[in-house]
Structures are given as structure tokens and as C-alpha cells.
Amino acid sequence: MRYLPSFTRLTLILCLFVAPIGVAGTLDTNREWDVLPEPDGDEGRRTLAAAAAHFESLDVALGGEPLTGQLLRELAGTPKDEPLTRALRESLGHAIDRKDFLFFLDDVVRARPELVRVHSGRARAAGIFLHPNDVFEGEPRRYGGRKLSILPPPRTPDLEPAADGAPLGERWSARFPNPADEAERLQALEEKGNPDFRARMEHLIEQLREQGAEVHVLSTVRRRERGYLMYGAFILSRAETESQVEQRVEELEQLNKEWDLDIPIQWAHPDGWRATIEAAREMADAYNVVFATRHGARHSSHYGARAIDVSVTRLPRSLHLVAPDGTQRTFDLSGADEPRDLNLTPRLIDWIEKQYGFYKLRRDYPHWEDAIGGWGN
């Protein structure tokens, strides 16, 4: 199976953010086999083989991994005694939902867009990757029936911060920024008064990386203003009617005053309610927020240096962990249906919570918090 170094994958995610002029921004999705053959007792091997020829001339990346004709041919050639789901997850480094991934390939082949960049948050929300609802809620996230954003979102450092009074949009993500990199994010936990949480988290991260896992520390300390803006982008991006937009704008304006934030944002787009929803989607995409609540926006543990957003993928087939008190356990993750993703593996989460004094907010994919000092959002 083809494997790209972490640096290469991260570079692909971070650097390819300027789309060619005229490139379509969304992909119409469905659960029909428009071009590719339907899987027929082979888990989708012939579907992958058929897709391979088309992908020779397509520029597609999913979760930072290029999907090339060569890669799809290799996957199509997975031996019959090797579960295809496991092969997909090990090759692509994500908790692939096999059938929905194949539907996605079919839609790309049908539409033939010039450029496709679907980051992990989009893929999870669309059902191409496993979603927390699949694992913890018994509510499968089924791919299809919605437009999928396929252009690379801008990097926050490359955006000019929104001016006072500007309407909602991606440029607001450049105001009230998070610490810039992993070292600064972890240091912020200590500077804000929680060095023990930092030490326990670094103890875990070091072991995961030593065994080949890919770890990304996405966020730690967050300003209240940023949490409010993320929540606003999230709820408006999911509005479907003019009345919903009006109600949510009114709510956000009221909360801005009640919470003494006084953020000079214009939540209602001057071009109307549909433009408001579209701008909110772009804004939520820039934040990479796929879950937010009003309670969290008001009381998030991120504000008090008691939370961390972290992604841990590419877990090995056998994972050995040693807790801070010396307790040890080896986890067999070799099963055909193992997600190989820390945030989607319940027995791993349960053990880490107990041994490290953490709490995992299961519905919020990357969110972990310090439970020793009490429970938060």
C-alpha cells in the first residue's frame, strides 16, 4: 500500500488552498451508481478498478491523501482474504466508510471537477469517514443528497482579518486566532495555569507517535470571542429557511450583548438570507467546525485551559500504552472493522479517560478535556 510521509500529507493540506479560476466549488452527491459498477459480492474491488482509469486524469485529495489511479488499482487488487475496509483505512490513514467512499468516487467520476480537496472535517460530516454519530449514537451518517464543498478552504494565516462591521464570512476566522502551532498550543495550557494537563497529554501523545500514529493538536486555549463566532457560523450554516436565518441572527445578536462580547460582526448578509447561509458555510469551513452548542460557546473548557482538540489516526494494529501511574495495556486493533482512529474507538477512550484523568466529549470528534478539576463542556 502507498504511504506518504506526514510532512507531505500536511503540506498538501496546508498549501493547496488557491483554486483555479472557474473551478466548481461543490459536488452534487447521491447514493446511485451513475458511472461505476455497483459492488457485487467483492466489497467494491471492481468498483475501485473501474474508478482507477478515470482518476488518472483527475486531481483529487481526501483527508490530505491524493486519490490517484495507481492507488485505486492497488486497493482494487487487495487479496480476497484481506478485508477491503481494513485495507482502505490503513492505506488512506482515516476511518473510511467503505460503501460511502465508493459512492463518493462515483460522484467524482460523474462530475469530473477540475479540483477536489475534501478535508477530514468535510469527509466526516458527509459520511465518507466514520462520524461520531455512527459510533456513539447509533445514527449512521449516510453520504449523499447534499452538496459537498470540494475547494480547499483558505488557511487562516493567509486571510486578512475581517474589519469591524463586516458581514459574516471566512475572514472572521482570522480574528481572535488560536496559538499558531502545536508547541505554542501546548505551552498555552501551562501559561494559563494547567501544566499538569499539558504533561499528561504530552505523555500520551509521545507514546502514540512512537508507535506510528499520526497526531495533530488542533486547538487548546481559545478566546471566548472565537467560540461565539464558531457557534454562530455553525448554526447559521445549518439553517434551511429564511425564518430560521432570521431567528438565529436575532439569537446571535442577543447573545453578543448578553455575554458582553461586543463583537462588531454583521450576522445578516446584505445580499439576503441565502447569502447568509452560504457565508456561514464558508466561515464554518474556515474554522473546520462540525459540532457546536450554545452551552459550549458560553462555557467551553477551552477558555480555561482545560480542553484540547486533537486528532489521532493511523493507529497500529497493536497499540501498547503505559499510564502515568505505570498501568499498562495492549489493545488489539487488527480487526477488520477497527476505525484505527483514537476518537472513534470506545474501549481506548474509556481506558484513557480512567488512566489519564481525561474526559472525551464523544459527539465532538476532536474534543478532550481535563476531568481532574471537574467536568466542563
Cα 97 to the center of its chain, rounded Å: 14
Would residue 44 be called left, alpha or beta, if left means φ above 0 and alpha means ψ between -120 and 50 degrees? left
Give, in order, the Cα–Cα distances in Å from 325 to each of 203, 216, 354: 11, 25, 11
Confidence of residue 290 (pLDDT cuts 50, 70, 90): confident
Other Cβ atoms less than 10 A from the Cβ of 114: the count is: 13
Q: What average pLDDT does this structure show over 94-98? A: 98
d(C-alpha 214, C-alpha 114), whole Å: 29
Q: Is the pLDDT of residue 134 over 70?
A: yes
Residues facing residue 370 across a β-bridge: 358
Give, in order, the Cα–Cα distances in Å from 8 to each of 12, 13, 288: 6, 9, 21
Per-residue pLDDT tens for 167-200? 999 999 999 999 999 999 999 999 999 999 999 9
Confidence of residue 374 (pLDDT cuts 50, 70, 90): very low
Q: What average pLDDT does this structure show over 290-295? A: 90
Candidate from 11-15, 201-205, 310-314 with smallest mean pLDDT: 11-15
Q: Is the pLDDT of residue 342 over 50?
A: yes
Confidence of residue 283 (pLDDT cuts 50, 70, 90): very high
Candidate from 14-18, 60-64, 101-105, 121-125 with smallest mean pLDDT: 14-18
pLDDT at 288: 85
Other Cβ atoms less than 10 A from the Cβ of 158: the count is: 10
pLDDT at 118: 96
Cell of 154: 483558505
Q: Is the pLDDT of residue 322 over 80?
A: yes
Q: What average pLDDT does this structure show over 196-210? A: 98
Torsions phi, psi for 316 (to 5 deg): -70, 170
Position 201, amino acid: M
Per-residue pLDDT tens for 220-249? 999 999 999 999 999 999 999 999 999 999
User: CA 216, 221, 222: angle at the middle one, nearest 5?
Assistant: 105
pLDDT at 16: 37
The full set of domain ranges for the chain reads 6-149, 160-175+225-288, 192-222+300-370
**Top-confidence range, 17-31, 151-165, 258-272:** 258-272
Confidence of residue 158 (pLDDT cuts 50, 70, 90): confident
d(C-alpha 23, C-alpha 246), whole Å: 31
Q: Is the pLDDT of residue 20 over 70?
A: no
pLDDT at 4: 41
Nearest residue to 340 (alpha-carbon basis) of 87, 120, 123, 61: 87
Confidence of residue 24 (pLDDT cuts 50, 70, 90): low
Cell of 81: 482474504
Secondary structure E strands in the chain? 26-28, 60-62, 65-66, 116-118, 147-149, 214-219, 307-313, 318-322, 328-332, 358-360, 367-370
Task: Give percent above pLDDT 90 in the chain.
Answer: 88
Q: Is the pLDDT of residue 355 over 60?
A: yes
At a CB cut-off of 8 Å and minimum separation 6, what does 338 contact? 86, 89, 315, 345
Q: Is the pLDDT of residue 1 over 50?
A: no
Q: What average pLDDT does this structure show over 348-352? A: 98
Q: Is the pLDDT of residue 22 over 50?
A: no
pLDDT at 157: 78
d(C-alpha 140, C-alpha 144), whole Å: 12
pLDDT at 148: 94
The packing angle between helices 224-237 and 273-287, to 10°, is 130
Mean pLDDT (the chain) is: 92
Reduced to 3 states (helix: H, G, I; strand: E, B; else coil), residue 295 is: helix
Torsions phi, psi for 353 (to 5 deg): -55, -50
- Do residues 357 and 367 make contact, with C-beta atoms less than 8 angstroms apart? no
d(C-alpha 231, C-alpha 18), whole Å: 26
Give, in order, the Cα–Cα distances in Å from 116 to each of 27, 109, 252: 9, 11, 33
Q: What average pLDDT does this structure show over 197-220? A: 97
pLDDT at 12: 40
Position 328, amino acid: Q
- Do residues 226 and 258 make contact, with C-beta atoms less than 8 angstroms apart? no
At a CB cut-off of 8 Å and minimum separation 6, what does 30 contact? 103, 107, 144, 145
